[in-house]
Amino acid sequence: MRVDLARWIAGALSRAKMLLLVCVTLGIAGASVFLSEGRLNSDLGQLIQPRGEQDWYQSNQAYKAAFPRDQQTALVVVRGKDAFATATATQTLKAAFEARDVFDQVFAPTVDPFIQAHKLYFLEPADLDQWLRGAEFNFGVLQRLSEQPTLAATLLIIADMLGVQSGQPLPITLQHAIDGLLVGQPRAQAFYPLEASEQTEFFHLIIVNGRQSLDESLPNAQIVRTLQSIIDQHALPESIEVELTGEVVLAHEEINAALNGIEIAGFASLLILGVILLVGIGDFRIITAIFLVLVTGVGLTLGYATLAIGSFNTLSMLFVVMFFGLGVDFAAHLALRLQADQTTNADTMLTVIQDLAPALGLCTVTSAIAFLSFTPTAYSGMAELGIISAGGMVIALLLTLLMIPAFLTLWPPLKSPPELTRFSVKWLPKYQSRLTVIILAVMPGALYLASHLEFNYSVLSMRDADSPGMSALTRLQDNGQQTDYSVVLLADTAQQASQLKTRLTALESVASVRTPADIVPTAQTDKYRHIMAVAELYDDLWLPAELDSAYTRFVDRDRIL
């Protein structure tokens, strides 16, 4: 076996140019496979794959399958200091999004016509009673203004009310009319606001489902660009702030940051590695051979990973930078040995290869086993990184044993290695005892710090906290609107959902549980009766032909006139 291997290597070295050409071609082919078939997976939810037999995991997966439109969504967060302006801006953007065919669905729950027409039902009974009393108190003013909707009539009504109710609060319509006159923008509000008086910031969400461009390296780029373009095209008030977040936006930022980060880290690694090799080796031909092995190895590993895994995630992409550190060890070791032995032909190089191959092979096996130890974990991102890195170690070994000798056969290195410089470690034996004492002294402190190391379960911590999408998500989390520690469980009936909520709420690890019943307004019959009692006052005040019921006419008055 060893004789056959030696004969095969000797035959390959006798055709050094062809061998280098084949290796480089394979590297280019591997990179081409990645560019054509490979894809980037930025879904951090897939970095962890719990055991399939867990009920909560199966239920969460069933929910995703049953409601696919709730997955891969973009959130447009519209914030402002004025409730009416914020709602108007939200409606404007929603209409603009719906006009673009790049979006499959646009939904703004808080400004949905049905929700808007039934907002009173969402109030607590005590708040509803207070609001209805305000509507009764304000009715007389609205009735007089409907008969004479002029500025003169408004001023006359204000004068009458100030005389009758000296020191008492004015109806909301007159108070807003006075406030508008003082700032030169007269207007009247029909009803008391439904928002709490102490609320100073308002926000609405627009949920957008877009079509991904799966043939592009950034499949969500078109969605994000279109959303941002529409927002920029609309001249919204300066007090309105619009943010983008959600799975689509976060995934786009993640892939973009990962590609840019890998590109920067890769160039930085090559630059630093080049400086180290230049100082430590000093032979341009050996350095060129090493870099040729590294570049070819990255291309081959990309192709191998595409065929073995199919996609890269934010963790497995790290192998590109890791390969430089893994591959350079083998290449530098063999190249320096060839230089030290002054091997310039295939026969002498074969002897060196036969001498070093067992040691390098053993290092490859042990390193590959270490990387493959990641595979049993539920963290699929680490598991895929282990599989890719283990294959990369084998590729690095094969390219080292083939390309380094072939390259140095064609372009032999310097006859003698450069002299040791002050960067060498020839001084290490002199201070060996002192360094040992220092290491032993700092070890207890290191162990103490390691014992206090905590595991962060949130995959969102892997994202850039300063990115626009993460900043918007953090603000939503601070408002209690979003959390990355949540799971959806399915129940067959409303009763089962209620029972499940009771059991889950009792768990110490569960902060809150919500069911669809928690979103539906309660005591609707009683609220309807109270609303209708006051709505009858307004039946003859406005009679739009398009409105069908007294209730709808009544609720529709919650706006600026």
Q: Which residues pair with 242 in a beta bridge?
A: 78
pLDDT tens profile 527-537: 888 888 888 77
Q: How many domains, the chain?
A: 1
**Does residue 435 fall inside a structural domain?**
no
- Rounded Cα gap, residues 10 and 346, in angstroms: 6
Q: Which two tokens stand for residue 135?
A: 């509507």
Give the phi and the psi of residue 197 in degrees, each rounded to 5: -65, -30
The pLDDT > 90 percentage for the chain reads 6
DSSP helix/strand/coil, 244:
strand
**Does residue 204 fall inside a structural domain?**
no
**Does residue 371 fall inside a structural domain?**
yes
**Does residue 81 fall inside a structural domain?**
no
Better-scored residue on pLDDT, 558 or 287: 287
Closest CA to 209 of 336, 338, 105: 105
- Rounded Cα gap, residues 451 and 361, in angstroms: 36
pLDDT tens profile 86-127: 888 999 999 898 888 878 888 888 888 888 888 888 888 888
- Rounded Cα gap, residues 241 and 79, in angstroms: 5
Domain assignment of residue 303, given as a range: 2-47+281-420
Q: Where does residue 460 rank: exposed (0-12), middle (13-18), buried (19+ CB within 10 A)? A: middle
75: Cβ–Cβ under 8 A, 6 or more apart, which residues? 205, 206, 207, 208, 244, 245, 246, 249, 472, 476
Residue 352, domain CATH: 1.20.1640.10
pLDDT tens profile 364-417: 999 899 988 888 877 777 888 888 889 999 999 999 888 888 888 888 776 665
pLDDT given at position 424: 56
Confidence of residue 343 (pLDDT cuts 50, 70, 90): low
Separation of first and last alpha carbons in the chain: 93
Which range scores top for mean pLDDT: 199-213, 265-279, 434-448? 434-448
pLDDT given at position 483: 63
Residue type at 186 in one-letter notation? P
pTM above 0.75, yes or no: no
**Does residue 425 fall inside a structural domain?**
no
415: Cβ–Cβ under 8 A, 6 or more apart, which residues? 342
- Rounded Cα gap, residues 191 and 173, in angstroms: 7
Q: Which two tokens stand for residue 414?
A: 């310097």
Check whether 149 has a pLDDT greater than 70.
no
**Does residue 316 fall inside a structural domain?**
yes
Confidence of residue 545 (pLDDT cuts 50, 70, 90): very low
Check whether 244 has a pLDDT greater than 80.
yes
Angle 380-410/284-308 helices, nearest 10 degrees? 140
**Does residue 329 fall inside a structural domain?**
yes
**Does residue 369 fall inside a structural domain?**
yes
pLDDT tens profile 260-283: 777 787 788 888 888 888 877 778
Closest CA to 20 of 281, 408, 463, 327: 408
Q: Which helix (H) or strand (E) covers residue 203, if one does? A: strand 202-210
